């Protein structure tokens, strides 16, 4: 989706051409490396764990850089003036990094109106909310939360898994409370997924091993409420695993088609029935 042919390189959230001179970053991942889910053929997302680590190694942005950036951006849109295309590409990439890092650090430096939990997910979502509040033209943000590989000691309502879900719920509540205070909640759809599910039966260590099917969560005022699909059977299993009810690519197709306004067939490399995800 982040490729220019899908989301429109140099375009804002509305799909209209940008009028300012700031670089557009279609995707931002909070973490040391960008996940494979955000890797495009041409566009690469920004990835940083803290704003101070994502910056040009030198002085802050200087006004003398603005005109060179304008010139390179203008020439990049034209087929003329390409005597040194490789050098211009490297120059524009360097200027992009410096201007983007300055914008991001300024955005997240402002204190939120809502208190966020001190968990790692809470910290990540606070940064995302701040960047949205400051008007960054980013379409997709990616955050992550670890600890769910509960092979042992998964526990009951007071166990490790329940505590993880509690941390997740507290962080998401703070995120949407802060978004709503800035009237941004209706502009943000959040999707939660895992790399793999869990087995139905408990193992000998009081946990569950890797499984197949798993739930996906969608959050936001525009999301369709309730459960989509049938509850999986705990008896009719696939070699000890839950049988999936919905192809996860239908969820992606629904988000791409109805929320992002993109052609899901081109991105998913196949046609999947878009799930009705909006209310």
Question: Does residue 37 fall inside a structural domain?
Answer: yes
Range of the domain at 81: 1-144
Question: Does residue 94 fall inside a structural domain?
Answer: yes
Question: Does residue 202 fall inside a structural domain?
Answer: no
Of residues 9 and 271, the one with the higher pLDDT is: 271
Question: Does residue 174 fall inside a structural domain?
Answer: no
Tell me what pLDDT residue 40 has.
Answer: 75
Tell me what pLDDT residue 143 has.
Answer: 96
What span, in angstroms and rounded, lies between the C-alpha atoms of 150 and 160? Answer: 8
Question: Does residue 228 fall inside a structural domain?
Answer: no
Question: For the chain, how many structural domains are there in total?
Answer: 1
Question: Does residue 201 fall inside a structural domain?
Answer: no
Kindly report, residue by residue over 227-276, the tens digit of the pLDDT.
998 888 999 999 999 999 999 999 999 999 999 999 999 889 999 999 99
Band of the pLDDT at 78, cuts 50, 70, 90?
very low
What span, in angstroms and rounded, lies between the C-alpha atoms of 16 and 4? Answer: 13
Question: Does residue 241 fall inside a structural domain?
Answer: no
């Amino acid at each position: 989706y982040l490729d220019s042919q899908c989301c429109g390189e140099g375009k804002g959230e509305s799909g209209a051409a940008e009028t300012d001179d700031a670089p557009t970053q279609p995707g931002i991942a909070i973490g040391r490396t960008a996940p494979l889910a955000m890797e495009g053929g041409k566009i690469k997302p920004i990835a940083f764990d803290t704003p101070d680590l994502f910056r040009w190694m030198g002085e802050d942005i200087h006004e003398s850089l603005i005109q060179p950036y304008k010139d390179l951006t203008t020439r990049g849109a034209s087929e003329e003036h390409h005597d040194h295309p490789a050098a211009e590409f490297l120059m524009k990439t360097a200027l992009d990094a410096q201007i983007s890092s300055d914008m991001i650090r300024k955005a997240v430096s402002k204190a939120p109106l809502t208190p966020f939990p001190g968990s790692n997910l809470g910290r990540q979502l606070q940064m995302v909310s701040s960047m949205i509040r400051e008007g960054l033209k980013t379409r997709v943000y990616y955050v992550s939360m670890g600890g769910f590989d509960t092979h042992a000691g998964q526990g009951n309502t007071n166990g490790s898994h329940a505590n993880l879900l509690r941390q997740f719920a507290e962080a998401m509540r703070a995120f949407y409370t802060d978004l709503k205070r800035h009237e941004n909640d209706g502009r943000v759809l959040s999707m939660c997924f895992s790399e793999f599910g869990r087995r139905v039966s408990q193992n000998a260590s009081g946990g569950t091993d890797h499984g197949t099917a798993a739930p996906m969560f969608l959050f936001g005022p525009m999301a369709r409420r309730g459960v989509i699909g049938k509850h999986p059977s705990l008896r009719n299993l696939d070699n000890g695993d839950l049988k999936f009810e919905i192809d996860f690519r239908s969820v992606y197709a629904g988000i791409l088609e109805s929320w992002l306004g993109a052609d899901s067939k081109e991105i998913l490399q196949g046609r999947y029935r878009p799930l009705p995800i909006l209310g």
